Chains A and B, each alone.
Chain A
């Protein structure tokens, strides 16, 4: 079974621009979560989507948003980019309510904001 895939793997943007990152979960997984990883703050939870609905959100400004499609693929959008948004963005998928319910992570998208 294919793992979690994220596109693009690398992205360079300038301040003020917006960016959209994509995540395709493991086949059959209906929950997708997003995390931000930076050297200073470490790994921080952004939000979780399940069946196209956001059901949990971390402590990030409204510039960070996401959505999930009917095929469980998810996108994350960051508007008005700031230098501090430079990070590795990881998504994870899971199949809630099963014996194997665990978050499986993708390789990440490395975003650099200049």
Chain B
């Protein structure tokens, strides 16, 4: 079974440029999460989707970050414009549903460097 797929794996951009990350969750997983992992830290949740609905986006900086999960399958996270402090690894995870007994499976992440 294929795991969570993310692309690109690496992205280097200049500040004020836009950037987008793509995630394809494990087939059949209804819940999708986007995390940001700063250097030397653990992942921090940005947004959670239940099917196509964003049910928890309280930690998403809405002035520059946006996300969508059309058709409740794959998802895109966008930053526009990027700032130096956005440099981090952006992880996507999925779980069968939001139940506390369902493991979250993580993708390999996209490492973003903003110059």
Chains A and B bind each other: no
- Using CB atoms and an 8 Å cutoff, list the residues of chain A in contact with chain B: none
- Using CB atoms and an 8 Å cutoff, list the residues of chain B in contact with chain A: none
